[in-house]
């Protein structure tokens, strides 16, 4: 049972969160450098999973952050209500847990209990979605899609310049 003080703190957090615009951030090739994970996988394993490398067990836990991503998220956190909105390969159950472990390693204080894994990003309601691909509902997202890696948003510096 929560004390009145804890309830007041929770209410305050919810009010502050409701006042900020909501930003969803994709993981693969936005926060997480997908090729960096492949660099840590044997050639034999790559060959065994040729054509579906995203199904390599443990692959998603081997990835490092995209340059500038961690710093940018900490800046955005001050102004926006942030959530991870990512897709995990259906035939790679370890990817789901690997993504959580990645967040716990690199951004635990920002995305604690703020991770959504879905193949229908268009069902989430928010103001912005930072994503590198128009798949899994991204191009149908009702807020603004910030197309990471595009000419307009080639990197995190461009995203920050736009959002801040």
**What CATH number is given to the structural domain containing 154?**
3.40.50.1000
Task: Answer whether residue 143 shows pLDDT above 70.
Answer: yes
Residue predicted with more confidence, 19 or 155 = 155
What pTM was computed for the model?
A: 0.85
In a domain, 60, yes or no: yes
Count structural domains, the chain: 1
The question of whether 28 is a catalytic residue gets the answer yes
Instruction: Please give the share of the chain, as a percent, with pLDDT higher than 90.
Output: 80
Is 11 known to be catalytic?
A: no
Q: Is residue 56 assigned to a domain?
A: yes
Answer yes or no: is pLDDT of 3 > 90: no
Which one from 28, 98, 131, 132 is the annotated catalytic residue? 28
Does some domain include residue 3? no
pLDDT on residue 63: 93
Q: Which domain holds residue 45?
A: 21-163
The confidence score (pLDDT) of residue 14 equals 56
Q: Is residue 5 part of a domain?
A: no
Sheet containing strand 144-147, strands side by side: 115-117, 80-86, 21-25, 128-131, 144-147
> For the residues 74-92, what does the mean pLDDT come to?
96
Whether residue 9 is contained in a domain is answered as: no
Q: Residue 29 has what pLDDT?
A: 95
Catalytic residue (choose from 26, 81, 131, 132): 26
Would you say residue 13 lies in a domain? no
């Amino acid at each position: 049972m929560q004390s009145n003080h804890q309830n007041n703190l929770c209410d305050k957090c919810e009010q502050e969160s409701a006042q900020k615009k909501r930003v969803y951030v994709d993981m693969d090739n936005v926060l997480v450098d997908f090729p960096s994970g492949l660099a840590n996988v044997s050639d034999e394993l790559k060959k065994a999973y040729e054509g579906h490398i995203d199904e390599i067990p443990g692959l998603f836990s081997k990835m490092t952050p995209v340059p500038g991503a961690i710093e940018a998220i900490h800046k955005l956190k001050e102004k926006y209500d942030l959530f991870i909105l990512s897709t995990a390969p259906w035939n790679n159950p370890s990817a789901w847990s690997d993504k959580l472990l990645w967040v716990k390693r690199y951004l635990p204080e920002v995305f604690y209990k703020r991770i959504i894994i879905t193949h229908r990003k268009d069902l989430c309601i928010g103001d912005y979605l930072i994503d590198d691909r128009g798949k899994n509902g991204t191009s149908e997202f009702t807020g603004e899609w910030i197309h990471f890696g595009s000419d307009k948003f080639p990197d995190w510096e461009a995203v920050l310049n736009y959002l801040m």
